[in-house]
């Protein structure tokens, strides 16, 4: 079934948020960072149906409040702007006013309704947003920029830009979904300094879009961790401008599952790009948990493993020390029978029914030397499964974070 659906999807070779029809994007340097681009935007030719999910951190940053309030009014966004280098978080009433001004000035510059502008920020917490620079950024918005510039402008400690687009046919129309994301540190289930923007030229009903985004996020952005810290600024926004004339998509449309699958693919790939680019990371770790008594149990166990500093350093050191994996399973506080647990490093079985398997250590070391490492856990305790992604913990993580602001 999954294969049938996925076979209808085509990943574009060099996909961006501007791959779907009717979108432009760009990025400029406005002085928030020393030299790098620091102010980016995505613009749709027409107001697009919008949905968003936001951090659960109680110190939610000002731009999230502004964006959330605006989307709640009409579920429409036409322009979104993002600044890096400053999170506009823990900045009180002034921070909120700054986010509102950013929204209002962008609306004026682009000639769109104020409530059709989304704002997002990422960077240092607790420093007032330097508004003269943000205003300069808004003034610099232009038609000659590119989605590559947008992807650059939203980065903080990321080492690479993150983007993708997929296509699928719905109602005889070739629908495209594109996405761009940033995130490298402070990444954890429930979204840490992680921004992700998804665009599509499909026509989608607002409530269905919101529901689909929430579901998809739970299996993608909420299943990655770099360091276990959830940020004040995370958000995922999806815009659907309906430039392709498909019958409006909702739960009743025969192709709804296919569309959701495409949205899922875009989200999952962006999430994996973020995990792989975790601060100091040299490897992507994928933890597949199967045979769980519930999806929640599978997810919690996968997250316990992917969050374990000891597992992360063992993978970094290519040490097939499965005891640390078993240990993390054991403290996940989920229902399981220790005597049924099986663990494999890729296809190398190392634990069967709770007991060590005699395996070739050097083969294990060789496998953990790969750039992508898959840890498979079968609990033999049910039929549910979940997958989580993360990265290894390295000297460079410590280096980056012991001196981030200096």
Residues of the binding site for substrate: 156, 182, 193, 279, 401, 406
Contacts with a second copy in 202-231 (CB under 8 A)?
A: 227-231
Q: Are strands 342-345 and 284-292 parallel, antiparallel or unpaired?
A: unpaired
Q: At 122, list the tokens.
A: 């990422």
Question: Between helices 256-276 and 206-218, what is the axis angle to 10°?
Answer: 40
Task: Between 317 and 346, name the residue whose CB sits nearer to a second copy.
Answer: 317
CB distance 311 to 305 below 8 Å: yes
Three-state DSSP class for residue 302: helix
Which of 89, 141, 198, 238 touches a second copy by CB under 8 A? 89
Say whether residue 354 binds a second copy (CB under 8 A): yes
Strand partners, 121: 83
Cβ distance 135 to 10 under 8 Å? Answer: no
CB nearer a second copy, residue 25 or residue 301: 301
Beta carbons within 10 angstroms of residue 360's beta carbon: 10
Handedness of CA 354, 359, 361, 365 (dihedral sign): negative
Q: Please indicate whether residue 313 is annotated as part of the active site.
A: no
Per-residue contact string for residues 289-328; x = within reach of a second copy by CB under 8 A: ------------------xxxx--xx-xx-x-xxxx-xxx
| Binding-site member from 97, 125, 131, 374 for a second copy (CB under 8 A) | 125
- Select which of 55, 79, 122, 193 is catalytic: 193
**Chosen residue from 111, 172, 254, 331 binding a second copy by CB under 8 A:** 331
> Which residue from 130, 330, 346, 382 is in contact with a second copy, where contact means CB under 8 A?
330
Report the residue number, 31 or 317, with the smaller CB distance to a second copy: 317
Residue 246 DSSP one-character state: P
Residues 230-249 that bind a second copy (CB under 8 A): 230-232
Q: 58: burial class by Cβ within 10 Å (0-12, 13-18, 19+)?
A: exposed
Region 27-66 residues binding a second copy, contact defined as CB under 8 A: 56-59
Q: Does 369 bind a second copy (CB under 8 A)?
A: no
Tell me which residue of 116, 269, 246 sits closest to 179, measured CA to CA: 269
Question: Which range in 76-84, 99-107, 180-188, 216-224 contacts a second copy by CB under 8 A?
Answer: 180-188
Among 126, 130, 346, 382, binds a second copy (CB under 8 A): 126
d(CA 46, CA 59): 33
Pick the closer one to a second copy by CB: 10 or 313: 313
| Contact pick of 124, 160, 174, 252 for a second copy (by CB under 8 A) | 124
Any idea what the Cα angle at residue 168 is, between residues 49 and 16, rounded to 5°?
65
Beta strands in 357-400 (DSSP E): 372-378, 384-391
188 binds a second copy (CB under 8 A): yes
| CA pair distance 176, 311, nearest whole angstrom | 38
* Chain mean position to CA 403: 25
Minimum CB–partner distance for residue 273 and a second copy (Å): 21
User: Which residue number, 15 or 123, has a Cβ lying nearer to a second copy?
Assistant: 123
Euclidean distance between CA atoms 374 and 343, whole angstroms: 11
Q: List interacting residues with a second copy (CB under 8 A).
A: 56-59, 87, 89-92, 124-127, 185-186, 188, 190, 227-232, 307-310, 313-314, 316-317, 319, 321-324, 326-331, 333, 336, 338, 351, 354-356, 393-395, 397-399, 401-406
Could you list the active site residues? 193
């Amino acid at each position: 079934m999954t294969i049938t659906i996925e076979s209808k999807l085509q990943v574009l070779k060099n996909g961006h948020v501007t791959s779907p029809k009717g979108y432009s994007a760009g990025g400029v340097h406005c002085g928030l960072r020393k030299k790098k681009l620091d102010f980016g935007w995505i613009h749709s030719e027409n107001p697009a149906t919008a949905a968003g999910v936001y951090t659960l951190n109680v110190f939610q940053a000002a731009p999230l409040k502004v964006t959330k309030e605006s989307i709640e009014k009409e579920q429409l966004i036409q322009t979104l702007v993002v600044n890096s280098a400053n999170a506009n978080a823990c900045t009180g009433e002034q921070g909120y006013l700054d986010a509102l001004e950013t929204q209002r000035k962008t609306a004026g510059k682009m000639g769109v309704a104020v409530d059709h502008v989304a704002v997002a920020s990422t960077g240092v917490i607790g420093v007032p947003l330097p508004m003269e620079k943000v205003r300069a950024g808004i003034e610099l918005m232009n038609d000659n920029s590119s989605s590559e510039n947008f992807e650059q402008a939203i980065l903080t400690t990321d080492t690479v830009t993150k983007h993708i687009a997929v296509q699928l046919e719905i109602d005889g129309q070739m629908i495209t979904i594109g996405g761009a994301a940033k995130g490298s540190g402070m990444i954890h289930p429930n979204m840490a300094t992680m921004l992700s923007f998804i665009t599509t030229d499909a026509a989608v009903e607002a409530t269905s879009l919101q529901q689909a985004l929430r579901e998809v996020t739970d299996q993608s952005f909420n299943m990655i961790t770099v360091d276990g810290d959830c940020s004040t600024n995370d958000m995922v926004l999806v815009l659907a401008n309906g430039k392709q004339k498909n019958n409006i998509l909702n739960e009743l449309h025969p192709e709804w599952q296919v569309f959701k699958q495409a949205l899922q693919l875009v989200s999952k790939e962006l999430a994996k790009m973020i995990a792989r680019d975790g601060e100091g990371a040299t490897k992507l770790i994928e933890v597949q948990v199967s045979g769980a008594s519930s999806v929640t149990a599978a997810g919690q166990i996968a997250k316990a493993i992917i969050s374990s500093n000891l597992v992360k350093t063992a993978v970094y050191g290519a040490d097939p020390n499965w005891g640390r994996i078993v240990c993390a399973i054991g403290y996940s506080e989920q229902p399981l029978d220790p005597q049924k647990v099986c663990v494999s490093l890729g296809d190398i079985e190392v634990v069967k029914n709770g007991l060590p398997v005699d395996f070739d250590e050097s083969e294990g070391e060789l496998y953990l030397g790969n750039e992508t490492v898959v840890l498979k856990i079968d609990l033999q305790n049910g039929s549910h499964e979940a997958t989580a992604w993360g990265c290894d913990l390295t000297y460079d993580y410590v280096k980056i974070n012991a001196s981030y602001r200096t």
